[in-house]
Chain A
Amino acid sequence: MPPSPNPAAAAEIHLHAPPSTDPPAAEALIRLAGVTVALGGRPVLHGVDLAVAPGEILTVLGPNGSGKSTLLRTLIGAVRPARGTVWRRPGLRLGYVPQRLAIDATMPLTVDRFLSLPVRRPRADKAAALAEVGLGALGRRQLTELSGGQFQRVLLARALLGRPEVLLLDEPTQALDQPGTAQFYRLIADIRARLGCAVVMVSHDLHVVMSASDRVICVNGHICCEGTPAVVSSAPEYRALFGLGTAGALALYRHAHDHGHDHAHDHGHDHTHDHAHDHAREAPRSRAAAPEETP
């Protein structure tokens, strides 16, 4: 169970480490403690405890409307929690790739200019960043002329120019086809290896996520389970959310009944079973692949 937040600090938002609360774990870059977020009076997240460690690839899974994007926006400071604390290491460099960016037709904006916002970057750096994300010399093109996939890569290139210590991506592969998605995750893994940055990523691509993440958290208004991909994919909370899809349903059904006693617990990762590993890998893959493989 998550530790209950310090009630004295619960009503405040701390952008820097306050002396009065527990210091965050030395290695954490961002830490949320007991965070509750309401948007327009509607509760979206409650009681979220989360620490982002340097260099890890952390994936946030969850159904539509579960608060995944809100969680990401809380991490970057765009959303103020109603309760709980948000701590970011002072001076932390964030790279954020939003899910969408609507460029108003009245704003002329070239790729080059966009890459220099808000901080001006040398031309050579911009060219290198575009090359790094697999784009050619399209610096002079208007943002509105790009395809969805190109646009997403330009957003990523812009985030990389800031040498981020944490790279946050909100459903970055939405505009990509399946090979493009696989390629994109390889790119992210390369970037992490080279920059050593932590990556926090919201995703729907269950099968890829499971192989590309160090840690997975499953969100549905709160964090319902977390751990390594193998652990999470065998958690009953995860199965309840990502459901008994068509092709994988039978395997899952068996799986669920093999470990029926899991349902008694709130947090499956507290009760991992040795034999869960037998199923951990194929279960999410078969389930996720099913809707995409049927024409």
Chain B
Amino acid sequence: MSLAPLLDDFLVRAALAGLGVALAAGPLGCFVVWRRMAYFGDATAHAALLGVALALALEISITLGVLAAATAMAFAVSALSGRRLAMDTALGVAAHAALAAGLVAVALIAPRGLDLEAYLFGEILAVTRADLAAIWGGGAAVLAVLAWRWAPLLTATLSPDLAHAGGIDPRAERIGLTLMIAVVVAVALKVVGALLITAMLIVPAAAARPLVRTPEAMAAAAALIGALAALAGLWASFRWDTPTGPTIVSVAAGLFLLSAIGAGIWAIVAGRIGTGRGEGLRGEG
């Protein structure tokens, strides 16, 4: 493998890690946005800290521990949503309880001198080859499942009833989505940290929204915007010696602002010119 020596460079590994997370989180994040699951993403991501504590206690891989904790939290929260609680309250309780309990558990279990900040905000510059394998493996799996289930997932997101009538089980699609979010949480922990994983899901998708007219275009644009944010954020953090995870998310937020302002200006300009969008108002005779 002629590219192998490149991976010796920690910056190259960091860039590949950021790209891997962004390319999977962008399209998946579109579903998080469409289904209004931002709080759900928070609860799942915050459970990552509990997973870290679990992994330290059992002496297993951090990624596995986080995957287990995030999956357990995701399903616990899904079960809550079936009941008649105010959903945002229930999710808020779950998200913050997981964060607080995770911090306490890590403090109790972790060896002295463990850098908690790495788990909260990521440690992309310390990504190893094994981390890269987990990130690209997990990311590729998520993208493959998304591509496979795209039409049923989209239909179930639009309307569970339409899904049923078309022979699709919306609950199964939701479970798949929940598992995919847990996988992204597990592989993104090292890159942006537990506190900012949800940002990698929703900010690129939100930035993509004004630029597109179909769900597929939104997924592609979200992946591109996330990738751009990852690379630009990495460069900026290296240049100005800022924490990398937060810098990446800041760049993504900047792109969101640009896209929102650009769309606003475009709407005003288009309104002035007075052109609609092509087709006349036909139909409904």
Do A and B associate with each other?
yes
Give residues in A with beta carbon < 8 Å to B. 40, 73, 76-78, 94-96, 98, 101, 103-104, 106-110, 113-114, 117-120, 130, 134-138, 140-142, 145, 147, 149-150, 153, 162, 168, 180
Which of A78, A101, A117 has the most chain B CB within a 10 Å cutoff? A117
Chain A residue numbers with a CB within 8 Å of B166 are 94, 118-119, 162
Asked if residues A141 and B279 are in contact (CB atoms below 8 Å), the reply is yes
With known contacts A135-B283, A137-B279, A149-B284, A98–B218 Cβ distance under 8 A: no
A-B contact pairs, 23 of them (CB 8 A): A73-B164, A77-B164, A94-B166, A95-B165, A96-B161, A98-B162, A101-B162, A107-B34, A107-B215, A108-B209, A108-B212, A108-B214, A108-B217, A108-B218, A117-B151, A117-B155, A134-B285, A135-B283, A136-B280, A138-B282, A149-B284, A162-B166, A168-B165
Chain B residue numbers with a CB within 8 Å of A76 are 161, 164-165
CB-contact partner of B284 in A101, A140, A153, under 8 A: A153
Chain B residue numbers with a CB within 8 Å of A114 are 158
B129 interfacial by beta-carbon distance below 8 Å: no
For the complex of A and B, list the 7 residue pairs with the smallest distance between their C-beta atoms, beginning with the closest. Answer: A136-B282, A96-B165, A135-B283, A78-B164, A118-B151, A118-B155, A76-B165
State how many angstroms separate the Cβ of A68 from the closest Cβ of chain B.
14
Within 8 A of A (CB), among B129-188: 151-152, 154-155, 157-166, 168
Give residues in B with beta carbon < 8 Å to A. 33-34, 36, 84, 151-152, 154-155, 157-166, 168, 205-206, 209, 212-218, 277-280, 282-285
Which of B159, B161, B164 has the most chain A CB within a 10 Å cutoff? B161
Known: A117-B151, A180-B284. 9 other contacts (CB 8 A): A78-B164, A96-B162, A96-B165, A106-B34, A109-B158, A110-B214, A118-B154, A118-B166, A137-B279
Chain A residue numbers with a CB within 8 Å of B280 are 136
Per the bound structure, the CA–CA distance linking A238 and B161 in Å amounts to: 29
Which of B209, B215, B284 has the most chain A CB within a 10 Å cutoff? B284
Asked if residues A135 and B165 are in contact (CB atoms below 8 Å), the reply is no
Which of B34, B152, B157, B168 has the most chain A CB within a 10 Å cutoff? B34
Of all chain A residues, the one with the shortest Cβ separation from B151 is A118
Chain A residue numbers with a CB within 8 Å of B158 are 101, 103, 107, 109, 114, 117
Asked if residues B215 and A113 are in contact (CB atoms below 8 Å), the reply is yes
State how many angstroms separate the Cβ of B98 from the closest Cβ of chain A.
26
Which of B157, B158, B215, B278 has the most chain A CB within a 10 Å cutoff? B158
Chain A residue numbers with a CB within 8 Å of B161 are 73, 76, 78, 96, 98
Asked if residues A110 and B213 are in contact (CB atoms below 8 Å), the reply is yes
State how many angstroms separate the Cβ of B277 from the closest Cβ of chain A.
7
Of all chain B residues, the one with the shortest Cβ separation from A135 is B283
Of all chain B residues, the one with the shortest Cβ separation from A159 is B165
Of all chain B residues, the one with the shortest Cβ separation from A180 is B284
Chain B residue numbers with a CB within 8 Å of A104 are 34, 36
CB-contact partner of B277 in A118, A141, A168, under 8 A: A141
State how many angstroms separate the Cβ of A118 from the closest Cβ of chain B.
4
